[in-house]
Amino acid sequence: MQGMNVFQQNVQYLKGVGPQRQLQLQKLHIYTLFDLLWHLPRQYEDFSQLQTPEQMREGEMTFCKGEVLQIVKNRTARGMFIVRAHLLCENSVITAIWFNQPFITTILKEHETIVLKGRVRRMGARIEIHVAHYEKSEHHPLSEGLLPVYSLSEGLNQKKMRQMMQTLLQTYLPAYPEILTKAIRDQEHLLDIHTAWRQIHFPENNMQRAQAHKRLALEEYLLFRLIMKKDEGFKPPKQPFATLWPEEDPLTLKIKQRLPFRLTDAQERVIQEIREDMRKPYAMNRLLEGDVGSGKTLVAAFSMLMSKARQTQSALMAPTEVLAIQHYRFLEKLFHGAPILTACLTSSTPAKERDSILEALEDGSLDILVGTHALLQEDLNFFQLGLVVIDEQHRFGVRQRARLSSKGQNPDVLVMTATPIPRTLALSLYGRLSISVIDELPPGRLPIKTKYLPRRDRVQAYEFVRKRIQQGEQAYVICPLVEESEKQDLLDVHTLYQELFERYGADFKIGMVHGRMSGEEKQQILEAFHRGEIQMLIATTVVEVGVDVPKATVMVIEHAERFGLSQLHQLRGRVGRGDQQSYCILLGEPANENAYQRLLAMQNTNDGFKLADLDLKLRGPGDFWGVRQHGIQDLKILDFTQDQQVIECAQRIFPWLEDTLDIGLKETYLQLKFPYLKEIAVN
């Protein structure tokens, strides 16, 4: 216990870390010695396989070495800096290029030798390298194994970070506690914890790095499971309701028979899983995963019919007003003529209508309430809430979901997401959540044809869009910013709207929507688009979840490299809602390998589950979903897509560790390693 206390010290106690360096580290969320130790390399560079210019291939990554002959800095018309360094590599001159990194000119000097990694661009005999990483030759100890590359903040460089890490390991590592016995380490072929730490930061070779990864991933997962364990196994009993029917009640059968199509086998299976849960005496807690367009809302509707049949009310909470209204209209159409009263409540609902809704909700005459965060208001009371449905559940925090559930006596909970989660990640995040997956799309849906194009081909892309619109179809155009930014050389909706209006405004109607508009303004624009009064809609990601427009068959995403895979897939799901062939064009200029791989993945598959696995692999567990309340961002090394054997090993060790780990040490880990899980684990 005393050993781990050492790592609670402020990072300023490390030799060589003064006030300025401390501030630089804090920008990386490094406050303690423990934080610094767990600031793991984001990659390793092995420059032992240097290439000559003759060996470099177009579009591939290369490692090379060269002498700086000349450095030139230019600025584009839109304000982006481009730095070019002409290098003597073997007997040829090549050009290294950095985008938006003007400070490179203050770091590199003529006649210095650098080693670099980057993507090759060949133009005849001329070779350009778009640099992903570089090192000055004197900072590059080729004889000392793999070179760690850390995430940095302004003012820090790799040399300084490596020096701090060396000092930390030499001074404090012996105090780090070992939680596994030698017998267990031998049985599972694991490094001791101190060797693992040294080899993860400064590995001798790839084999040692892999062994260190295995041991630390195991350590991290075991601690994560220990802290999450308190939330598992507890199944709150729910209030006894009217007896649930043995199979389908007459109303459910009637609604199903009215459908103009047949439910997919996956939908039928999931509905049966939910029915079995709702029969049980304790509250259902089920996660429903389904790709964009797989029919999750219909499954939720039949779940609400089950709630109605046992004489309880249902609540459906969506993250945006647009989506809430869409769900409400869908349910109204589905239940038309049936004895089911449905209402929609958002922040825009007029006061008089709101009062009527609250009154009907409280006296039990209202069966289903659809809404946004407005459902969390304190004066909103249900007569008997039996089912809570949360759509796009990652948009809501733990407390928000709990507040809605608290309006009933342990109601059944169904949370839905169109952002598929790899199963190992889902089981770890949601220890006591059952998981259902709709793994097939309704028949007749055509795969969306996706194409990545460099931004120099924009005119070609928009000419394709124009032709589709002339054939009676509609198009979305997505860009990342609402307003022009001095810091980012990116298109904004206003600039893009003006450009496309000047080019095509005489040919068809163009609209614009973004998050800074009022709810009413957004709703009017989206409804006009839905009615076909607008043929091209310029938008930010406000349309990531939104109305279904069957005639919208084309989507262009500007600066597509700026978006994560899951978000790109969600955006793409806005088209392809009808029976016509749909298209998604990704315009981008990827500056690194991860961004390039994301765009290729989007081009090669429409499978959201494959994309989720790749997104997790490329972005890491700390960024996947962006959900701080789950503590997943505290996982620094465990890879849920690659470390299945580690997780299986942890399952074998976990019962022993649970019984033996000192409670004080567990609490210290909770404070240091998983600060965002503390409130969940303790309360």
Closest C-alpha among 535, 546, 530 to residue 511: 535
Identify whether residues 304 and 413 lie together within a single domain. Answer: yes
Q: Strand, helix or coil at 213?
A: helix
Which residues of the chain carry a pLDDT beneath 70?
Answer: 1-2, 47-48, 138-145, 227-236, 240-247, 393-399, 419-433, 482-489, 544-547, 616-634, 640-641, 675-683
Domain check: are 126 and 184 in the same one? no
Give domain status of residue 638, yes or no: yes
Looking at the fold, whether 594 and 635 belong to one and the same domain comes out as no
Based on the domain organization, do 634 and 672 belong to the same domain?
yes
CATH number for the domain spanning 75: value is: 2.40.50.140
In this predicted model, what pLDDT tens digit does every residue of 305-321 receive, in sequence order? 999 988 999 999 998 78
The per-residue b/e assignment along 91-117, b for 16 or more CB within 10 angstroms, e otherwise, is: eebbbbbbeeeeebeeebeeeeebbbb
465 and 432 together in one domain:
no
Of 95, 127, 144, the one marking the end of a domain is: 144
Domain around 119: 47-144
Last residue of a domain, one of 93, 125, 144: 144
C-alpha dist (Å) from residue 675 to 199, 630, 679: 26, 10, 8
Residues 653 and 549 grouped into a single domain = no
pLDDT of amino acid 192: 96
Q: Are residues 312 and 348 in the same domain?
A: yes
The predicted pLDDT at position 640 comes to 67
Residue 125 Cα distances to 53, 57, 286, 387, angstroms: 10, 12, 60, 67
Residue 460 inside a domain? The answer is yes
Decide if 119 is inside a domain: yes
Question: Do residue 273 and residue 421 come from a single domain?
Answer: yes
Amino acid 631: pLDDT: 44
Total domains in the chain come to 4
Query: What is the predicted pLDDT for the residue at 197?
Result: 96
CATH code of the domain covering residue 337: 3.40.50.300
Q: State the pLDDT at residue 1.
A: 41
123/202 same-domain check: no
C-beta neighbour count of 463 within 10 angstroms: 10
Query: Is residue 379 exposed (0-12), middle (13-18) or buried (19+ Cβ within 10 Å)?
Result: exposed
- Same domain for 312 and 412? yes
> Is residue 352 in some structural domain?
yes
In a domain, 434, yes or no: yes
Q: What is the C-alpha to C-alpha distance for residues 514 and 496, in angstroms, rounded to an integer?
A: 12
- The answer to whether residue 340 is domain-embedded is yes
Within-domain flag for 616:
no
Q: Which of 392, 407, 438 is the last residue of a domain?
A: 438
Cα–Cα distance list, 97 to 57, 60, 73, 532, 537 (Å): 17, 15, 10, 45, 36
The pair of structure tokens assigned to 362 is 């409280």
Q: 366 and 323 in one domain?
A: yes
Is there a domain that residue 10 lies in? Answer: no
Please give the pLDDT value at position 234. Answer: 52
Residues 309 and 401 in one domain: yes
